[in-house]
Amino acid sequence: MAETREFQVFRGDRSGGKMETYPVEVTPGMVVLDAMHRIQATAAPDMAVRWNCKAAKCGSCSAEVNGKPKLMCKTRLDALPADRPVEVRPLRTFPLIRDLVTDVSWNYEVNKKIPPFTPKPGAVWRWKQEDVDRVQEFRKCIECFLCQTVCHVLRDHQKQPVFNGPRFFVRLASLEMHPMDGLDRLEQIKEKSGLGYCNITKCCTEVCPEDIRITDNAIIPLKERVVDRFYDPIRVLFRKIFGSASLTKPE
């Protein structure tokens, strides 16, 4: 009953590497990460794989399976075509460390530059479920960085220096729309985060394992807020005439 399938896994480091083929005995219900563990336990004890929870909750095990960015612990083997080997590669957008492990530290640097949650002065901490719902969607993010790796602005154009990427638009949205947050973040969002580089083509939304509707619920609403402040000609004019207090943050 044990069936064997072929896996092609990238082995190597910054100085180079190649795809290695490993036959793996598979059992029903197995996920790609199980197969990687089996390879580690038998053929290649030193194969580098990053993982933690094995339950799609921590976002560590991101890799490109058959060319698509995925969580290995959530990708069932029976969902992959059986007639060809399963290809597993490290995330392409981030610098390789070794085998399937990449250096995602850039993301942590970006996060550090986003001003933290800052409560409104004199905030009364009473707020309702309907306020919470919208922000909670963003806070589901498990920081798997699949959206970062698939976004063409980072993946194909390496705009890292000027573009924060979808993960951080989600983070910015969670702060900007937080009912208790008192910072005015629009300047930062427009100028520093590079929101304008996103052309809303939704690849990030397609790969998000937490089903966060990144483009529709985070990016586009942020773009609209930026329009309010910087592009809407009538509002801009209005603000010029009546001072910046009007029409900035409707409270």
Tell me the backbone φ, ψ of residue 177, rounded to 5 degrees. Answer: -95, 5
The residue within the footprint of another protein, chosen from 84, 224, 237, 242 (CB under 8 A), is 224
Q: Give yes or no for residue 104 binding ligand SF4 (CB under 6 A).
A: no
Q: Which is nearer to another protein, 108 or 240 (CB)?
A: 108
Q: Which is nearer to ligand SF4, 202 or 239 (CB)?
A: 202
Parallel, antiparallel, or unpaired for β 101-102 and 96-98?
Answer: antiparallel
CB of 118 to another protein, least distance (A): 9
Partner that binds at residue 178, options ligand FES, ligand SF4, another protein, none, CB closer than 5 to 8 Å by kind:
another protein
CA distance 215 to 179: 21
- Amino acid identity, position 167: R
The residue within the footprint of ligand SF4, chosen from 31, 186, 198, 222 (CB under 6 A), is 198
**DSSP label at 81?**
-
The residue within the footprint of another protein, chosen from 58, 80, 183, 236 (CB under 8 A), is 58
Tokens 């986003």 -> residue: 114
**DSSP label at 31?**
B
Q: Give yes or no for residue 174 binding ligand FES (CB under 6 A).
A: no
Please state, in angstroms and as integers, the Cα–Cα distance from residue 226 to each residue in 195, 214, 232, following that order. Answer: 9, 17, 9
Partner that binds at residue 147, options another protein, ligand SF4, ligand FES, none, CB closer than 5 to 8 Å by kind:
ligand SF4
